Structure 1
């Protein structure tokens, strides 16, 4: 058991007048953030929230979401971060699987779950009287602080447990790598319900650093803040960076901007070269929900000589490439395996999945990559079949499961195809049952009712067979060969 003072309470004591969070219109100091969180905690106590219980947040990026995360920490509750882009079915499944007793939702999202009695809007919560409650003075680094669901390669979503220690060491590892400067302000234009966004909330209170929030990504506003020197660090995925560059035009960022942290999958080389030409300091990074954000980042002095690499592990972490149970040689592709205090201790209520993924403290990511002779990581594939669309993880098996539940579908396979806007989008290949007559639009409408918009196949092709190996395992990598020749872009083989 390793105890630390409650982070927000300690930060408000140490630097009460520093700005904690701003959205460009409103801002709050750490003292004001602490008081607001304490008020929310007393209201949550009124509805009976107790230590150890799971409370879900269904909210978009705004100051109140930051306040409520800390309010739940004050009570010792575990925070389940819900993706606002999911369907009612997907949200309900996560709530039931996690055992969450309450959902705090933005007013315009509260109706998403229909008559679910667990849902309380932010407005309804704000109207409640406050109950007396003792704020937790400390946190145990071994305790679970947050839970985020991520689909595995089998398509079944799993709740990743993130401890206070995972968040602490993620913030420390990032600081040791990227540094922390007195004028730093980190822009969170990525969702706070993703680890890339939530980690900024954690860094803010641990570092005593202001964070700037965008409810949704606005490249014009982001560039304006950067050009005025109000933002020094920003987290992006490739699709966001492309939009920032398009808006920037011939201009260049000021020297006050020092770090563009680029995650969400391998970046196209032309994008990195365009940033190099414009002097934009891009730090490529590799991480996942299970590692509480980045675990590998490319240090700036190597940005040109190691273009395309995700870098080396953060100071507290370890990394190796494993192939057939042995450590791979330099440049030999294999599974990326990581270890460190920012790595999850497992999946919520999934002991079998935990045992399969974590062995002797090492997390077997399922991602494919190699190390060069100097130990720099190059990521070849994120979980080989994984589709990364606009920074969102899309797992083919999850979409296949929905398609296979349609009465007309005999077989289904899903893979990613290149897309100029999103990097990749899912594409499905379906064999219908004899006599069935479902068309593409009918199947896409069926998917839209059951999957988040970004998971719905951009195209559905009807085929006579799907590629399988001798063991009848679907060969997703060969699915693209089934695209009619007249529709294949030049990049397709």
Structure 2
């Protein structure tokens, strides 16, 4: 099966990257134990100036593990972590994993209704959250209370004197928190515990490390079950791909949130496996981001396209030195070619596009960093990862070059959806994960994503892929961001609509953009409707919520 005719991409593997690898069957948190043994004094976390060594981090993680056991939380119990990128998130994550618990990473922007669904669906025993989110957590647990709510504050880990200034900057809302019984403060919780080493054995192939909820664009979010092996394998696959990365030397710029599985694998787990330093960014504020990069000189900066767009379009970009950045992998949404080229020119680093999804821990494909890559492509499958293009209805393999649904098989593919056997059956068939993404593979084994099946626009009988139209709009010198979607049209069924954010001071109008598109696209693909906006609704990772834009339009339609 492994012949190159079946896997033409193997021809394009750098000699340093093996096609297959023996992944260690271990608790995911062993990465931290192993790196601490080798590099105890290396800085693991740099949080707004507070530097925490591997030795100090592991000490806190053991304390967290032992404190959970003291409360009666056991192997297989679920612990939710609702925090931005801060030391407490790392401690709670690895501390839960070490005692065999299952982490439920939760978005701090969630409202009570979304949070309630996750906490109840996963039967969570404890949540770790911020004081400023406490009211929201309380509301979401009114009907079904949790055993424990563990509360921390950003200032708990801020260096002096920032910790004194913090309350002046963040006006806290709500009443003071009354601690006791089920509501516990984070720092005393650790302090009163012991740092005795503790490692609960796990069956890496079977035991869950994570229940990660996927964006609920189609009703309520589903819990993706990822085993220790899934995440160990994907972290190692990413490490094999970054074969020039040096153990104990890399500085990872953690602007992607850890509660998103992309940030968790390519930043948190990756940096800890590599004994790197994680530069923690609790919130993506472009001014702050550029100052931090200028000062702390990160070498690795994974991100979402909107992050790179914000960097290249910053008015004072030339005042900052970003030349330390060597490796960037873009995920979570398609990367416009124009953005990739400008970012590389500006930093001298390499920015590649990759592809993944929560159900695959998440990375399955990436372009080569230092060898052959193809613009506009998501690259080639990772080691031990198979990919095929099949007919969306029949499941038959498509002739090479034809468009169909991308399916994937590999050690990083999930065990299934939590308590949803029917949904699991739809997504996993004979070990293959059906992604719902439309793609094609060229003769050299490079893959190209066209769009989500559900985002395809069918206008006047023609299939139109939003990404193709967006690429053209991005090339226009006045366009900062563009999103294309199908909106209801009484005559054509659907029509192509472009949502545009212009660069500061730009003057392009509907006519200009229409002319621009007509020169580069078949007439049926040219957007008929244009809406100019100041901003787009986005997830915290920076993915534009295309569905939300379409729903807003539908609400405006005469009923």
Verify same fold: TM over 0.5: yes
Matched with 2:528 is none
Equivalenced residues, count: 414
Residues of 2 paired with 1:105 and 1:461: CA distance?
35
Paired with 1:18 and 1:78, the residues of 2 have a C-alpha distance of: 28
Task: Report the 3-state secondary structure (helix = DSSP H, G, I; strand = E; otherwise coil) of the residue aligned with 1:112.
Answer: helix
Give the structure 2 partner of residue 146 of structure 1. Answer: 210
For the 8 Å contact 1:331–1:370, the answer to whether it is kept is yes
CA RMSD of aligned residues (A): 3.2
Asked if 1:191 corresponds to 2:257, the answer is yes
Q: Write the distance in 1 (CA, Å) between the matches of 2:402 and 2:321.
A: 38
User: Whole-Å Cα distance in 2 between the matches of residues 292 and 203 of structure 1?
Assistant: 12
Q: What pairs with 1:293-442 in structure 2 (closer than 5 Å)?
A: 293-301=362-370, 306-323=374-391, 324-385=394-455, 418-420=499-501
Alignment-derived partner of residue 91 in structure 1: 115
* d(CA) in 1 for partners of 2:435, 2:218: 14
- The answer to whether the 8 Å contact 1:195/1:289 transfers is yes
Alignment-derived partner of residue 485 in structure 1:
none
Counterparts of 1:222 and 1:153, CA distance in 2: 29
1:491 equivalent in structure 2: none
Task: Supply the distance in 2 between the matched residues of 1:201 and 1:61 (Cα, whole angstroms).
Answer: 10
Which of 111, 120, 140 matches 2:149? Answer: 120
CA change 1:196–1:103 in 2 (3 A) is same
Task: Indicate the residue corresponding to 1:406 in structure 2.
Answer: none
- Equivalent position of 1:16 in the other structure: 40
Shift of 1:184: 1.1
TM-score, normalised to structure 1's length? 0.76
**Which of 215, 239, 246 is residue 181 of structure 1 equivalent to?**
246
Cα gap change, 1:139/1:22 in structure 2, threshold over 3 Å: closer, same or farther? farther
The runs of 5 or more residues in structure 1 that have no matched partner are: 389-395, 397-412, 423-452, 466-493
**Distance (whole Å) between structure 1 residues aligned to residue 317 and residue 355 of structure 2:** 28
> Match of 1:300, SS?
coil
Say if 2:213 and 2:224, in contact at 8 Å, map to a contact too.
Answer: yes
Q: What's the offset of the Cα at 1:251?
A: 6.3
Q: CA deviation at 1:205?
A: 2.1
Instruction: Report the CA distance between 1:421 and its aligned residue.
Output: 8.5
Which residue pairs with 1:53 in the alignment?
77
Alpha-carbon distance in 2 for matches of 1:417, 1:358: 34
Displacement, 1:218? 2.9
Residue 366 of structure 1 deviates from its aligned partner by: 0.5
Cα distance, 1:131 vs structure 2: 7.1
Q: What is the match of residue 219 of structure 1? A: 286
8 Å contact from structure 1 (residues 292, 342) kept in 2? yes
Cα distance in 2 between the residues matched to 1:418 and 1:302: 36
- Of 135, 144, 160, which residue of structure 1 is paired with 2:198? 135
Task: Report 1:73-112 matches (<5 A).
Answer: 73-112=97-136
| Deviation of 1:45 (Å) | 2.5
User: Which has the higher mean CA deviation after the structures are superposed, 359-368 or 150-159?
Assistant: 150-159
Per the alignment, residue 337 of structure 2 pairs with: 269
Task: Tell me the TM-score normalized by structure 2.
Answer: 0.68
Which stretch of the first structure deviates more once superposed, 23-32 or 1-10?
Answer: 1-10
Deviation at residue 133 of structure 1 after TM alignment = 7.7
How far apart, in 2, do the equivalents of 1:184 and 1:255 lie? 14
Aligned to 1:39: 63
| Aligned counterpart, 1:282 | 351
| 1:56 match: secondary structure | strand
Contact 1:320 1:337 in 2 (8 A): yes
Q: 1:254 to 1:241 in 2, by over 3 A?
A: closer
**Contact 1:17–1:31 (Cα < 8 Å) also in 2:** yes
Asked if structure 2 preserves the Cα contact closer than 8 Å seen for 1:53 and 1:100, the reply is yes
